Structure 1
Amino acid sequence: MLDMKDMRQNPEEYKTRLATRGVKAEEIDALIAKDKERRDLLVETESLKKKRNDVSEAIAQAKRNKEDATEQIAAMREVGAKIKELDEKLTQVEEEQLDMAARIPNMPNPTIPVGADEDANEELYKVGTPRQFNFEPKAHWDLGEELGILDFDRAAKVSGARFVYYKGLGARLERAVYNFMLDEHANEGYTEVIPPYIVKSQSMFGTGQFPKFKDQVYQVNGEDMTLIPTAEVPLTNYYRDEVIPTEKLPVYFTALSPSFRSEAGSAGRDTRGLIRMHQFNKVEMVKYTKPEESYKELEKMTKNAGNIMEKLGLPYHVITLSTGDMGFSAAMTHDLEVWMPAQDTYREISSCSNCEAFQARRAHIQYRDENGKLQFVHTLNGSGLAVGRTVAAILENYQNEDGSVTIPEALRPYMGGLEKITKQD
């Protein structure tokens, strides 16, 4: 949620910067007008409540003096009825304003590239050199099926498209990947958490998925419960409606969780393989920081994700997303994209974002500054990494001409010392 007071004071800046995210100027005007209506109602209501208090005192005084208070009592009833009417109107206007405000994305950091989509993204740097194969590299889905470690067909029979069975060494490789990630993040100072995988709507609102993106999640019928699309949701809501002791900041959390996404609007995109699934594992990083430290922490988080890639020996590059390609809650996002030989391109494997105070304002997460004044924290989140995509990248980058896959050295302790995956019976 954006700062309404700041928006009232600087409407043109909000219109200009949010226009780069597809927000129309009239949406800002409508929100400011609705806020004025709310504030006007508050003033009128408070004025009437003062009048009611004054009339109540006059009635009490008349009764003490044994005077007739009929006129004052009638006036108080009239005022009471008007207050009730205004309170109901105020509640309605507040709900309307909240709904309008909740659908407007975060203000983009003024330094990020401006553009309508991914074509405007800017590369920051590359790490590693893509391997040159002396044979035609296979796609990870073909490798996985031929090795007998991935089964998409039976998963489709059981659950539908965009699901998979990991089998044998495939399951062990997935487990090795996320255990390795969790250990690395723990060594970097993150507190490991096993969070709930089902959350209430208020939690989805806090991180910005609701109300705008309800069509992209799975909800439990008849209940106010949603399967998490990412561990960002329960981790960021951990301190919802709380004041974090200043001495605790920054707070680092990491968690492995399944992620459930309906992939609405992605028909025809990545229909094969592990890139775009309805259910997948992801190791998440979340930070709570003071505002003045949040961009330094974003760079550290990006390096934390990159560290995983480097230790696995996977070539990648880091890009800064444009205003039109960035997620709803983010003010700045760095994506890490891993090299996928069979596709001859880089594909997203991690997204690290600074949401500034946007989520904290929605979830009411605060701390006290050096003057004792309550301030909103800044929240950050990042994939460290999407596990299935990491497995896909390992299969493609470490494949051999005979169809086997060499296991990266960093994962071998997690695989019982195994050095290579060969065809399973």
Structure 2
Amino acid sequence: MAFFDSPENSSGAIYNRLSSDALAVQQIAGARLGIVCEAIATFGFGIILGMYFSWQLTLVVLVYILFLFFLAFVQICWQARLKKRSDAILGTASSLAVQIIHNMRTVKHVASETEFLRQFSYLVLKEFRMRRKDTMINSLLYGINLGTVSFILVALYWLGLDLVEEKQLKITNVAIVFAYYIFIFESLRMREMSDSLSAAQSFFNLFDRVSAIDNSSTDGQQLSDFQGQRVALICASGCGKSTVIQLLERFYDPLKGKIPFDGVDIRELNIQRVRSCLGLVSQEPILFDLTIAENIAYGHENASMEEIIEAATKVNIHDFIQQLPQGYETKAGMKGGHLSGGEKQCVAIARTLYRRPKVLLLDEATSALDSYNERIVQDALDKAQIDDPTRTSLIIAHRLSTIRSCDLICVLSKGNLIEMGTHTDLMEQRGAYYNMIVQNSTT
């Protein structure tokens, strides 16, 4: 996940690389590939025939070609450096545009249209100035190339006449060599190839990256599996509760300790299989601009309507969905914008239950809801946890009253597990958990 955490790999930057760079790769694999093949064939045959008719003139041409390759190398290096900077700017601009569009209501509410327009215009203008500089340098290199061609033709003409005067070469051979090398010079003028090569390199680097788990996570946590139990994690904000969720999903690997699944270290298991056994209900539910049925069965190609209805019924939203104008075919809207917070959360829980996970991960699932929606969602969560008696539930909650009935409560501090037990056991210890309860009751 550290790859996506990096600013240069934001959603806007990756989108820009996939769109513009893919077009460049398509051009290389299409029309420009034919031009390259034609240039290679013309160059090869021209050199062979040139050596046959006049090796002296061919040596002069080879000197020019070496110089041309040097210019091409300089141009490609410059383009790669420029493209990296340009991609960073365009990625930032794309990310800004995506954020503005997705959060248009907030932008309108705070009346920040002018400010965002200024930021976007600044980035676009900065990229334009960079491109203008690139165009000037490319034009300079192209001008040097054209000037060198004229110089080489003059040199060939002078050397050819000198060889004819010394009767070392026939005038017809000079004419033939001239004709072939004019074709060679024209075939080597591929101004846009450097752009395409730089884009192709960036594009394939993205896909050639080997997916790996990034070793940067909470220090010293060691958790075991508790089949069929409801386990709660509590601590102050920022001490590692949500990091545990990311460890279980193997977004990161722990530097110390291990997470065993049925006695096997999670790092030794197939990552896709591990994630298929986990069902996450987060604080902010993520819905797609699809129908409610498609959101519940998201990720399953052969979705059964009976199973979709069964999952919705378990979380008490079947009747609500039936009352919608198009029932299960009703669009949820962008990020679930057509539904309330509680309704979105219930759809997300139904989606989780549809997958029949072995481990249910609840990451402060009700903290952002009002009291009415919290009761609805909490009832759905309670049913989800008892739906399968063998299912393990890992609960992260900031409201201590919601986790008192858990089979096990784990107290974290600075990334370390400091207390563990039932509510009664921890209250008798009069430690960190006891202090949290006392502090919570007095506020």
Which structure carries more relative contact order (alpha carbon 8 Å, separation 6+)?
1
Q: Considering fraction of residues, name the structure with more helix.
A: 2
Is the radius of gyration larger for structure 1 or structure 2?
A: 2
TM-score range, shorter chain: under 0.3
Of Structure 1 and Structure 2, the greater strand share is in 1
